[in-house]
Amino acid sequence: MTDSAERNDPAQPRGIRLLHDPHLNKGTAFTEPERDALGLRGLLPPRVLSMKEQLARVLANFRLKSSDLDRYVDLIALQDRNETLFYRLLLDNVETMLPVVYTPTVGEACKKFGHIFRRPRGLYISLHDRGRITELLGNWPERHVSIIVVTDGERILGLGDLGTYGMGIPIGKLALYTTCAGIHPRACLPITLDVGTNNEELRSDPLYTGILDPRVRGPEYHEFLEQFVQAVQQRFPDAVLQFEDFATQNALDLLRRYRDRVCCFNDDIQGTAAVALASLLAVNRITGATLSDQCLLFHGAGSAATGIADLIAEHMTSEGLSLEDARRRIWFVDSKGLVVRAREDLAPHKRRYAHDHEPVRDLRAIVEDIRPTALVGVSGQAREFTEQVVRAMAAINPRPIIFALSNPTSKAECTAEEAYRWTEGRAIFASGSPFEPVEFAGHVLTPAQANNAYVFPGVGLGVVTSRARFVTDAMFAAAAETLAGEASDEVLARGCLLPPFHRIREVSLQIAIAVAEVAFGSGLARIDRPDDLRAHIQRSMYWPDY
């Protein structure tokens, strides 16, 4: 950096411009020679601090904040001024930081996104930009993008239509791509598509950041999405496109429309399915059962339930069941009660799981009739797993499986403590957002956080490093099987189904290898298989350091 050619390179930011570039800024960690070479002398306090010392400072400030939302704002501010330090903080404190930078705190951040807005991050593309979306994508400063996470803000977690306030989700997901799987932050692009909002509270909010029109539907919506997907293919042809937090029918339609045309997936459908399947496979390691022994009852019949059910049914066929028999072991409950064949109001995605049974609305009665081994909550409706419902599960099963997967924590169907207490400690519990360990009858039970963060970063890494043309269900099945095998016997003995999050980099690497093997084995990879696949993937992983 002291070379005169580098000192005079017009492309090299210098002085105050360098300190305002979060990709390159090191703050007080710039060395003495760097300060002289880059015009920083006098712009920084004189003492040079190591990254370790910087981390101690930002962690101490983080702990001084009085609420998780304040901590979220503090982390985003750090990301905006020193990206390397931000990701090192997350990596070194992953179990503390992930609940703040993502679920459950990101839900609160999204609800108040216009009020905590500081600096823009990502791209906003609205209906007003039709006909020039490729031009807008060209405004993004990076030319080599590996992962795009896009939302239209209609179904943010379990919070509903948050319009452009939903941008917190793509930003958070991509932070996890970098933290958990080492995708370089400059290769990540968050996008919000603004197609209006039907949330009247937002439209009357003077600080709302989106257009104030009602949401468009039908052909106009799909024409806009088609323009967007084509523009992405033109501007970033090698990028993986991840659809995030779209409403059920749009989520299903977009996945069906584009999965065989472009390299894309829907995390709410496929990522959720993989982590749920992994959790069930880990349950079987505890109980000695097979997946085909299970009977599943889903509370919620949207895109997440459909994705989980489809992947589980397909996996059951690998154990010898026909697809029809596998589906008969899976039941849905929606807002009108049990999904049964006699109902005439069923959307197409529910019909394949509609069975012969009289209509029933009460969840406890449904549990007693169907006698499921697993109760899976994906409705976004809080507190639906009441004491009566959970005790009914415990009366039927020696080890009742209770998965309260709705996010954020405020939308969980029940808490870990409730599931354990109402089943005398026999429940095998997992949730979408984290719960603290529970002491019961002299034992400490550790609930599993069956969060998509276990899956999608590794899947994306495997797809990117194999340069796969498409993302397939077989890749998510491989991810699920790999994840299920990563929990140690000691972890399972504590009641936890998945490995601790502090191992997430190693877990993501293992998943990436499994996904890449599927890509190479199915002829979808656009490169030759490296002799050492692990080393090939490891070399691509970003590590935040100066």
Tell me what pLDDT residue 158 has: 86
The structure tokens 């963060």 sit at: 453
Residue 297 belongs to what H/E stretch? strand 296-299
- Which band of pLDDT confidence, cut at 50, 70 and 90, is reported for residue 121? very high
Mean pLDDT, rounded, for 134-158: 96
Peptide bond into 104 cis (omega under 30): yes
What angle, 0 to 180 degrees and rounded to 10, lies between the N-to-C axes of helices 248-258 and 218-235? 50
Task: Please answer whether residues 525 and 516 qualify as being in contact, where contact means their C-beta atoms are separated by less than 8 angstroms.
Answer: yes
The 8-class DSSP code of residue 476 comes to H
Evaluated on CA atoms 504, 506, 507, 511, the torsion sign reads: positive
Helix (H, G, I), strand (E, B) or coil at 467: coil
**Ordered domains of the chain (ranges, CATH):** 1-49 (1.20.1370.30), 105-262 (3.40.50.10380)
Helix (H, G, I), strand (E, B) or coil at 296: strand
Alpha helix segments (H runs only) across 374-431? 387-396, 416-422
Q: Is residue 366 pLDDT above 50, yes or no? A: yes
Q: Is residue 2 pLDDT above 80, yes or no? A: no
In angstroms, rounded to a whole number, what is the distance separating the alpha carbons of residues 139 and 150?
A: 17
- In the set 26, 111, 173, 411, the catalytic residue is 173
Residue 471 belongs to what H/E stretch? none
Peptide bond into 434 cis (omega under 30): no
Mean pLDDT, rounded, for 38-54: 98
Q: Is residue 98 pLDDT above 70, yes or no? A: yes
- In the set 26, 72, 87, 102, the catalytic residue is 102
Taking only the tens place, the pLDDT of each residue in 15-39 is: 999 999 999 999 999 999 999 999 9
Q: In what order do the strands lie in the sheet with 401-404?
A: 337-338, 330-334, 296-299, 374-377, 401-404, 428-431, 448-449
Buried b (16+ CB within 10 A) or exposed e, 366-377: bbeebebbbbbb
To the query of whether residue 102 is one of the catalytic residues in this protein, the response is: yes
Q: Is residue 465 pLDDT above 90, yes or no? A: yes
Taking only the tens place, the pLDDT of each residue in 313-328 is: 999 999 999 999 999 9
Taking only the tens place, the pLDDT of each residue in 183-229 is: 999 999 999 999 999 999 999 999 999 999 999 999 999 999 999 99
Helix (H, G, I), strand (E, B) or coil at 193: strand
Distances 318 to 152, 273, 276, 290 between C-alpha atoms, Å: 36, 16, 17, 11
Provide, rounded to the nearest whole percent, the portion of the chain with pLDDT above 90: 95
Strands (E), 85-214: 123-126, 147-151, 188-194
In angstroms, rounded to a whole number, what is the distance separating the alpha carbons of residues 340 and 110?
A: 36
Query: What phi, psi does 272 have (nearest 5°)?
Result: -60, -40
- Which band of pLDDT confidence, cut at 50, 70 and 90, is reported for residue 9? low
Question: Using alpha carbons only, what angle is made at residue 479 by residues 281 and 350, rounded to the nearest 5 degrees?
Answer: 70
Tell me what pLDDT residue 12 has: 81
Mean pLDDT, rounded, for 136-165: 96
- Which band of pLDDT confidence, cut at 50, 70 and 90, is reported for residue 424? very high
Tell me what pLDDT residue 6 has: 43
Tell me what pLDDT residue 8 has: 53
